[in-house]
Chains A and B, each alone.
Chain A
């Protein structure tokens, strides 16, 4: 279990350069500067509230400190010095109280109105949202289905969401097990994924880049490692990516990869789907075009052959509690499966 920690420091390396530009390398979850809506509409009121809060605390702290330092009596023996007690001058004191309350009320009214206006603003995207993505939360990964009226254009993927820049995208959110929460701080606020209920959300990425998202509602042992990545790219790239996703996998050519496909069917296909490879499990993430993704295990590991082997060989060591079982493969079997998975890279 201790070993899990070492696998994590990958963010800096795994992020595409565009993301580093867009988000600032060290602040993948920062939301005081945003790159899309509704984040852009929320940030101003957040800053406003923050400054209001800081202002109020500074004023009150100053009043208390000044009151204490200006008025303190030193060397008083409370048991003897009985003359000290005085009446509170309620008349003049209450005038200050009413003044303070009026100021409080005024500030609050401004923020109530601002809140309502912002809410009206972020309720719906401006204009139609042509793309709808269904996201189902699982312990501990994200099932992502791109919906379309044309059934042949529907496909499923996991943990990485591609969206076109400048186009509002709608989300249908639900959960297969417990409550999760969908949150991509640099673009959008959060919405819960609740079993047996369909929530909707939307966002529009305005700057190309890769954005980190993370589950924001405690959902079990590996809640901390339930991340997702949003890749915002030009509409052309996005369309090409969608078309590529629709392709069935190509049959492997090398002997070892062919053997790997057989072994995959025997050992993995009960849970994992790979379109075109006679593997249709539904428990775990869809692995068609796996190599096109940049991370493994919901954003935990960079997608490299080494990490892939390690993950398949013993998932529970990397992500304690994961529902993916250990399969007790021999070394050559593991190599073969890996060789097969490495062929799933039409996009690259």
Chain B
């Protein structure tokens, strides 16, 4: 039972880790390929599909726990199917490289290797999705290798690439390409030296979480390779930290848009001013800064003329499908109610765990009261102005 609860949480958690990194790659890889992402809509649909399917595959961590074969086959099938949306993303990235003219910079190195790491983490996942194979692979170092390809290969490589990509925007300075290339070489080499052979350790039958094993098991040399690789990887990470530190202090000034990237954040100064945009920009396409070079859509984004949101806390309300600016809405001011609600929820759930039923009832009542207070209609928020103030 606890195992079920744990994995219902923990499997979607993995996707929570990897999906943002996949988004970073889908966003930034095309910049270095000098063209928009191939199959943007499909990638978006694939991401949403992954999110939904991700909630239906938790049992694939529990194939060996004696669950009836009928339900195992369902979760096995679901785990196979979740490959498809990932394949969409992989093909989209590869095609973007093939149809583009890539410029090799440090972020691109991370993104390109990310595609391969993603594939390795993915296919080892497919192997464990097959129930009979998992009966053997489960609980061995094969799974340890798999999770490292997922968490480091799919998350860390994407995030490091994104760090190099957005660092100029955040700090106003560039990170050194030369140091970055060295760091990449150590991270890529070290990571693969450490974790690629680990699949083999698992196939040789080494169980997870053992502190010792018989000498005759034959796992010694692969584990040694892993140890060497992990030190190289750690040294590479150290170089990245040095690279960041050096970039902050001595980096060359970046300018607004060092990569000639197409999206909105590159239209403002680096680092961006606290107010981001003086007026709310109105967009006509996904690539406002490439519009004059791409035959895309009609109309032009207007970055310097748009509604002013200068009357207290306000936000734009746009139409649902086309995101056309529609209304300016008043946002509520800071309030204590959400905090009180969480306190009440703490009391409620804590009391449930401790079997204190009166406290639980009181907590539940308090939650309802706090939510009433939070959502109580207020006159000053009722107003919405149809006409935005134009600046």
Measured CB to CB, the residues of A under 8 A from B are 4-5, 8-12, 25-32, 38-39, 41-42, 45-46, 49-50, 52-53, 56-57, 60-61, 63-64, 67-68, 71-73, 76, 78-79, 81-90, 93-94, 96-97, 100-101, 104-105, 108, 111-112, 114-116, 118-120, 122-123, 173, 181, 183, 185, 189-192, 194, 197, 199-200, 214-218, 223-225
Contacts of B192-220 to chain A: CB distance below 8 A = 203-218
Known A29-B206, A97-B39, A223-B209: A82·B132 in contact at CB below 8 Å: no
Known A100-B91, A190-B139, A191-B64: A42·B132 in contact at CB below 8 Å: yes
Q: How far is the CA of A64 from the CA of B206 in the complex (A)?
A: 32
Q: How far is the CA of A207 from the CA of B206 in the complex (A)?
A: 23
The reply to whether A199 and B131 form a contact with Cβ atoms under 8 Å apart is no
The reply to whether B136 and A49 form a contact with Cβ atoms under 8 Å apart is no
Contacts of B241-279 to chain A: CB distance below 8 A = 255, 257-260, 262
The reply to whether B205 and A29 form a contact with Cβ atoms under 8 Å apart is yes
The reply to whether B136 and A31 form a contact with Cβ atoms under 8 Å apart is yes
Known A112-B80, A181-B139, A224-B212: A101·B100 in contact at CB below 8 Å: no
The reply to whether A68 and B215 form a contact with Cβ atoms under 8 Å apart is no
A68 partner residues in chain B, CB cutoff 8 A:
97, 102, 104, 112
Known A85-B34, A119-B73: A11·B216 in contact at CB below 8 Å: yes
Known: A67-B98, A93-B99; 17 extra A-B contacts, CB below 8 A, are A27-B204, A31-B136, A45-B133, A50-B203, A53-B123, A56-B119, A72-B101, A78-B105, A86-B100, A87-B296, A89-B99, A96-B95, A118-B131, A189-B64, A216-B138, A217-B139, A218-B209
A13 to B, closest residue via Cβ: B216
Task: Show 18 A/B contacts (Cβ-Cβ < 8 Å), sorted by A.
Answer: A27-B204, A42-B136, A57-B119, A57-B123, A60-B116, A71-B97, A72-B103, A85-B294, A89-B99, A93-B99, A94-B39, A97-B91, A104-B83, A181-B64, A189-B64, A194-B66, A216-B139, A225-B212
Quote the shortest CB–CB distance from B270 to chain A (angstroms).
12
B295 at interface, CB cutoff 8 A: yes
A78, A105, A185: the one within 8 Å of B84 (CB):
A105
Contacts of B269-322 to chain A: CB distance below 8 A = 290, 293-296
The reply to whether A87 and B80 form a contact with Cβ atoms under 8 Å apart is no
Known A50-B127, A104-B87: A8·B214 in contact at CB below 8 Å: yes
B293 partner residues in chain A, CB cutoff 8 A:
82-83, 85
B257 to A, closest residue via Cβ: A79
B72 at interface, CB cutoff 8 A: yes
Quote the shortest CB–CB distance from A58 to chain B (angstroms).
10
B256 to A, closest residue via Cβ: A79
Quote the shortest CB–CB distance from B200 to chain A (angstroms).
10
Quote the shortest CB–CB distance from B19 to chain A (angstroms).
19
A93 partner residues in chain B, CB cutoff 8 A:
38-39, 95, 98-99
Quote the shortest CB–CB distance from A236 to chain B (angstroms).
30
B76, B115, B260: the one within 8 Å of A60 (CB):
B115
Q: How far is the CA of A81 from the CA of B259 in the complex (A)?
A: 10
5 shortest interchain CB distances as A-B pairs: A29-B205, A189-B135, A224-B210, A11-B216, A199-B66
The reply to whether A57 and B120 form a contact with Cβ atoms under 8 Å apart is yes
Pair count A-B, CB < 8 A:
261
Known A60-B116, A112-B80: A11·B217 in contact at CB below 8 Å: yes
Q: How far is the CA of A6 from the CA of B203 in the complex (A)?
A: 26
Contacts of B230-246 to chain A: CB distance below 8 A = none
Q: How far is the CA of A116 from the CA of B99 in the complex (A)?
A: 39
B205 partner residues in chain A, CB cutoff 8 A:
27-31, 185
Q: How far is the CA of A287 from the CA of B201 in the complex (A)?
A: 35
Q: How far is the CA of A173 from the CA of B64 in the complex (A)?
A: 12
Known A64-B94, A101-B91: A88·B38 in contact at CB below 8 Å: yes
How many residues of chain B get a CB closer than 8 Å to chain A's CBs?
82
Known A53-B127, A185-B205: A86·B98 in contact at CB below 8 Å: no
Quote the shortest CB–CB distance from A104 to chain B (angstroms).
5
B47 at interface, CB cutoff 8 A: no
Q: How far is the CA of A35 from the CA of B171 in the complex (A)?
A: 62
Measured CB to CB, the residues of B under 8 A from A are 34-39, 42, 64-66, 69, 72-73, 76-77, 80-81, 83-84, 87-88, 90-92, 94-105, 112, 115-116, 119-120, 123-124, 126-127, 130-133, 135-140, 203-218, 255, 257-260, 262, 290, 293-296
Known A27-B218, A68-B102: A46·B136 in contact at CB below 8 Å: yes
Known A56-B123, A185-B205: A96·B216 in contact at CB below 8 Å: no
The reply to whether A86 and B35 form a contact with Cβ atoms under 8 Å apart is yes
The reply to whether B88 and A101 form a contact with Cβ atoms under 8 Å apart is yes
B88 to A, closest residue via Cβ: A101
A10 partner residues in chain B, CB cutoff 8 A:
214
Known A60-B115, A181-B139: A52·B123 in contact at CB below 8 Å: yes
The reply to whether B101 and A97 form a contact with Cβ atoms under 8 Å apart is no
A53, A78, A185: the one within 8 Å of B124 (CB):
A53
Quote the shortest CB–CB distance from A301 to chain B (angstroms).
11
Known A78-B259, A190-B138: A108·B126 in contact at CB below 8 Å: yes
Q: How far is the CA of A146 from the CA of B254 in the complex (A)?
A: 75
Quote the shortest CB–CB distance from A64 to chain B (angstroms).
5
A4 to B, closest residue via Cβ: B212
Q: How far is the CA of A83 from the CA of B292 in the complex (A)?
A: 11
A5 to B, closest residue via Cβ: B212
A34 to B, closest residue via Cβ: B136
Quote the shortest CB–CB distance from B313 to chain A (angstroms).
38
The reply to whether A96 and B96 form a contact with Cβ atoms under 8 Å apart is no
B80 partner residues in chain A, CB cutoff 8 A:
108, 111-112, 115
A84 partner residues in chain B, CB cutoff 8 A:
34, 101, 103
The reply to whether B95 and A214 form a contact with Cβ atoms under 8 Å apart is no
A105 partner residues in chain B, CB cutoff 8 A:
84
Q: How far is the CA of A192 from the CA of B65 in the complex (A)?
A: 5
Quote the shortest CB–CB distance from B186 to chain A (angstroms).
20
Quote the shortest CB–CB distance from B273 to chain A (angstroms).
21
Q: How far is the CA of A194 from the CA of B91 in the complex (A)?
A: 42
A29 partner residues in chain B, CB cutoff 8 A:
204-207, 217
Q: How far is the CA of A81 from the CA of B260 in the complex (A)?
A: 9
